[in-house]
Structure 1
Amino acid sequence: MIRITQTFFYQGIGLWHPTGNFEFQPYFFNTLVSVVATVQVAAVLEGIYLYRSWQVSYTETQELKKISLQSQLESLKTQLNPHFLFSNLNSLSALIGSDAGKAERFKDELSSVYRYLLHQNNRILCPLADELAFLNAYFHLIKTR
């Protein structure tokens, strides 16, 4: 509507020179330019809005995944610790009577595993060397049992 009024004003002051009594070409051209520009601006703004919405939902999804994995890990830790401890103590008790050398190594590996578990509760990341040492100690416990 503003473009049409503007074109009519331009015709009135002589900027547009119609060839007939009432020429529609300038009105059509101004309306077309206005519509094309509006569609382009709307497309850019809609793209920006959709990208920001995607960023927010992606961040929320990643946070929820992280929270879910953390709760699963905590749940596993609480379920595993008591059973694991009593099972290993029973194995140690059986080894003490039969082979004192194996019992001594089993005790060292068990203390290494529990030391790792206690330290790991307080930190988020740990060095790969610590992880490998834990895996070796744990594997030795399982193999001996």
Structure 2
Amino acid sequence: MRKIIMGAALVLTAALLTGCGSDGSPATADKPATATQPKAKPESGSGEVKHEVTLEVLGTGTTSVYYNLDTNKFEQVQLPWKRSSTITLTTDAEKKVGLGVSVAPGSVTGSDGMLHAAPCVITVDGKKVADNQNGKSDKMCEFKLK
């Protein structure tokens, strides 16, 4: 069991490192589609920008999920799974460069009996901004909040 967890952690780490070079450019054939930046909700007079972010992993059964929302976490979860948080951008750097949110779903057994990536979705302020094409892409779901 320990070897399985360590193997999953290594795979998820590799997936995250692969995604670190993302520049937010438009989707390509091997990259899941991402939407444009949702309209920010500025707090009156404070200069802060708030976004309601929801991460979802769909399917049935159990799988591992690594996510970066308001903290970085790795969990074994029952599907379907959802986490929401209000993310506040306070610094000029966060507003200009962005703050990354992501979810790397584990595998689920498909209708063909083979293991496939579980479908994942990120919504920001109620608008879908990233997905992994219903599990057809091996990429994790990620988005930069600005």
Q: TM-score, normalised by structure 1?
A: 0.28
Which structure dedicates a bigger proportion of its chain to helix? 1
Larger radius of gyration: 1
Q: TM-score, normalised by structure 2?
A: 0.28
Which structure dedicates a bigger proportion of its chain to strand? 2
Q: Looking at both structures, which has the greater relative contact order when contacts are Cα pairs under 8 Å and sequence separation is at least 6? A: 2
